Amino acid sequence: MSSLFDRKKIVPRYKIVGYFMVLLGILVVGKAMYIATVKRDYWKQVADRLKRDSVSVKPVRGNILSCDGRLMASSLPEYKLFMDFKALSDSKTDTLWEEKVDSICQGLHEIFPERTAAAFRKHLEEGRENQSRNWAIWPRRVSYETYSEVKKLPIFRLKPFKGGFHTESFNARQHPFGSLAGRTVGEMYGAMDLAKCGLEQYYDTILRGKEGVVQRKKVMNKYLSITEQAPVDGADIVTTIDVNMQDLAERSLVDELKEINGDVGVAIVMEVQTGDVKAIANMSKGPDGQYYERQNHAVSDLLEPGSVFKTASIMVALDDGVVDTTYMVDTGSGIVDMHGAKMRDHNWHRGGYGTISLPKALEVSSNIGVSKIIDRFYADNPEKFVDGIYRLGLPTDLKLPFVGAAPPRIRHPKKNERGQYLNWSKTALPWMSIGYETQVPPISTLTFYNAIANNGRMMRPRFVKQVVKNGEVIMGFPPEVIKERICKEKTLKEIQTILYHVVSQGLGKRAGSKSFKVAGKTGTAQVSKGTGGYKSGQMKYLVSFAGYFPADNPRYSCIVCIQKSGLPASGGLMSGAVFHNISEGIMAQDLKLKVEDARDSLSILLPDVKSGNMTAAEYVLGRLGVKTIDGWSGSYATGNPIWGKASLTSNAVKIEKSDSTKPGTVPDVAGMGARDAVFLMEKKGIRVKLEGRGKVVSQSLPAGRACNGKEICLLKLK
């Protein structure tokens, strides 16, 4: 054993190993202490760089829909186009680039005509020389349609890691109907993704959804994304807006504003039984003389309503029983002294109305007649009159879903300890009774008239019916009653009869219709301009008409308010004309006709079909039994509108697809109706002026040329 284990040799060796291990341990501990103290900050920074980073993922914003489910605002993808030239380092791909660069640049020029093929080549070669990994091919975002066209070009169709073409996607807010109901639907602050106004702003939390979280970890110089919390897309809101009624209201209003050179126009259509706002137009004249929606005047304008307020004044007197419909009032020669101030009727220069009945005072909108009645019975107790106005519900705060919506301001008489009025003069009551000394937004006036049409039940104006997600209703907003009855039933029946007579035999005849009965009240008020007040000579007028139709079975109520400078100014003639066109249009749209009744079985004539949405045209022609021929290889059963033109053959209508939607170019809208033509133009960002009616016969911007989205195109129709 001693020969196998030499103690003198082995033990020293073990000692050396032991000493080495102890020294190594000391070095490890020392190094650890050094790292924990001296190098602590450095290694903390390293740890921070390597730890997982949270990256927020934005959800898709919900849609805003019309009452029948059509998109009024939607988030659609837009793309920034980039080229990674380092991906071309492969010799085969680099050679392919040399071969295809000319065709690529020519293709880009055809898609973006604003830049020449030579300019594209110079731009791309610069990025290639710099070996940029994110070289912008085009400076602005493009639609999915344009992105798809670019993706078809040589090399760009390859996978990103091989060809280098890649994109950055964004959710952009689009309005398929252009500026229709723009201030009601609302707007977004572009890239900041902030709601600016309208329903977009009020229902922002519902539409926005919730952001998701993705953790990113760097492993071997590559980032791995791990979804920690998936984004929750926003829900859709279904509004009460009817696209057809909205379009009708806007066109009728703008036509009259142009005719009388008006400054601001408001038109609101409400469904009587539910309070649903079917259309709300707010048009203001711009510096270029055209009309745009810039402010929601219908809910925010606090102006003296004028004669449309007289209906409420007479209702208070009737409801209190101080007068009845047989009451007679002397209006004199059209000018009377009212507590030291002159009050005039509109026909004072013709000698006035003399002695007239209470209903007649409303029919002819006599300032003197109404103010004399109210002053006689309420002069000593004006609080009772104002209490009656409040009892009617006219000053109610409607709690509308719009930031900046203003409730009516109807001041109440107040007395001091000595019984003297603090904010009231003897002239306040007479002038309040005819629509001055008060500020009422148009939506509140319409709500009051809607209650009259609805047999005294006042409904809160409703703009949103439901919140929907994935086809399921997650929140509902049923019709809401503000007041079950605004007045006595006897008062209501009397005022309904008077309002019908205002249109049938009074100053509101222009608002009437030969096809159905209309009831309502005209209004014309002076609007003070600036600090000079009413005597400054800078007079503006508010002309209005508020009413409902059909009068014998009310379905819709409507108010039209127009602000204009100077005379002439007539609520019955100007606002009444707009009301007439809107009511006639709505009732015509509402007719329930069978398609078969439109076809003459004995006739072999083919219908003249407008250019435009050929999907809709083919559907109608099919229902009428008219043969159609597709002049292109494809199918209409795509769910998307096909734009094109129609021509007549011997026994059929030939439908051909056009390139009206080609990106970056002015569309060819010849032969189209106004609606389709305006839709295609505004989709390209081109503003439109219309002249005439019928089909488009000429357009000031030639079809096919490049458009920059800031131009105005004049369309002549015939």
Does the pLDDT of residue 702 top 90, yes or no?
no
User: How many helices and strands, by DSSP H and E, does the chain display?
Assistant: 21, 32
Q: What six digits make up the tokens of 75? A: 């988030």
- Which whole number is the average pLDDT over 530-549? 72
- Which whole number is the average pLDDT over 206-215? 84
Q: What six digits make up the tokens of 64? A: 């805003």
Buried-state track 405-434, b at ≥16 Cβ within 10 A, e below 16: bbbbebeebeeeeeeeeeebeebbbbbbbb
* Tens-place pLDDT, residues 34-52: 878 877 776 666 555 555 5
Cβ distance 135 to 82 under 8 Å?
A: yes
Greater model confidence, 192 or 277 = 277
Torsion 43-44-46-47 (CA) sign: positive
The H-assigned helical ranges of 515-625 are 576-589, 614-623
Does the pLDDT of residue 170 top 80, yes or no?
no
Q: Quote the strand ranges of 230-285, DSSP E.
A: 236-239, 264-271, 277-285
Position 326 scores a pLDDT of 95
Residue 213 DSSP symbol: E
Label residue 24 by pLDDT band (50, 70, 90). confident
Name the residue type at position 645: K
Give the other-Cβ count within 10 Å of 171's Cβ.
Answer: 15
Name the CA dihedral angle for 465, 469, 472, 477, rounded to a multiple of 10 degrees: -20
Nearest Cα neighbor of 168 from 79, 87, 57 is 79
Torsion angles phi and psi, residue 469, rounded to 5 = -145, 130
Label residue 703 by pLDDT band (50, 70, 90). confident
Calculate Rg over the CA atoms of the chain.
Answer: 36
Q: How far apart are CA 426 and CA 661, in angstroms?
A: 66
Which of 292-306, 323-337, 571-585, 594-608 has the weakest average pLDDT? 594-608
Average pLDDT, the chain: 85
* Tens-place pLDDT, residues 422-460: 888 999 999 999 999 899 999 999 999 999 999 999 999
Q: How far apart are CA 347 and CA 369, in angstroms?
A: 13
Does the pLDDT of residue 418 top 90, yes or no?
no
Buried-state track 439-476, b at ≥16 Cβ within 10 A, e below 16: bbbbbbbbbbbbbbbbebbbbbbbbbbbbbbeeeeeee
Nearest Cα neighbor of 294 from 268, 263, 316 is 263
The H-assigned helical ranges of 537-659 are 576-589, 614-623
Q: How far apart are CA 548 and CA 561, in angstroms?
A: 15
Q: How far apart are CA 645 and CA 647, in angstroms?
A: 7
Does the pLDDT of residue 223 top 60, yes or no?
no
Label residue 580 by pLDDT band (50, 70, 90). very high
Does the pLDDT of residue 667 top 80, yes or no?
yes
Position 711 scores a pLDDT of 79
Could you tell me which residues come within 8 angstroms of residue 340 by beta carbon, excluding any fewer than 6 positions away?
426, 427
Percent of the chain predicted with pLDDT > 90: 46
Position 708 scores a pLDDT of 72
Does the pLDDT of residue 384 top 80, yes or no?
yes
Q: How far apart are CA 250 and CA 293, in angstroms?
A: 10
Helix (H, G, I), strand (E, B) or coil at 691: strand
Which of 9-13, 59-63, 269-273, 528-532 has the weakest average pLDDT? 528-532
Does the pLDDT of residue 633 top 70, yes or no?
no
Residue with tokens 């006739």: 603
* Tens-place pLDDT, residues 174-202: 888 888 888 999 988 765 578 888 999 99
* Tens-place pLDDT, residues 229-252: 888 889 999 999 999 999 999 999
Does the pLDDT of residue 497 top 70, yes or no?
yes
pTM of the full structure: 0.72
Residue with tokens 């249009």: 585
Does the pLDDT of residue 631 top 60, yes or no?
no
Task: Report the DSSP beta bridge partners of residue 657.
Answer: 644
How many alpha carbons fall within 13 Å on the CB side of residue 691?
A: 8
Helix (H, G, I), strand (E, B) or coil at 61: coil
